[in-house]
Copies of this chain bind each other. A is one copy, B any other.
Amino acid sequence: MSAPNAYAAACPSRLVLDRVADKWTVLLLGVLARRTTRFNQLRRDIEGLSQKVLSQTLKNLERDGLVSRKVIPTVPVTVEYSITPLGATLASKMEGLLRWAEAHSGEIAKAQARYDAADA
């Protein structure tokens, strides 16, 4: 097979990038990299993440083999989400991104203010 190249539209790695370059995925893997967490706890951990989008995102992550889902048959049911070994390798890249965003948000806000002031 040819080398994966995300710059080519049809390359599988492009699909992966599209899935993975997502705000909620970054935040979700950030939580799960630290601890196994239940559905509603994830909702509380990540402000602004709706139940619907959380549900979808987790399903995608599970399908991609990045997160695993464990159902514990209590009443009512308990569901635990954990990161997989593959997911953990991604999470470390994500954490870099997350920390970058936190470290540079001030500089970016300043750049935006400068830009907005420059045009009339």
Contact = CB atoms under 8 A, between A and B. Distances in A.
Contacts of A22: 21
Contacts of A107: 65, 86
A100 B11 CA distance: 14
A106 interface: yes
Interface residues of A, number: 58
Copies in the complex: 2
A79 interface: no
Given A21-B22, A47-B8, A63-B115, A100 B93 contact: yes
Given A63-B111, A97-B97, A106 B12 contact: yes
A6 B93 contact: no
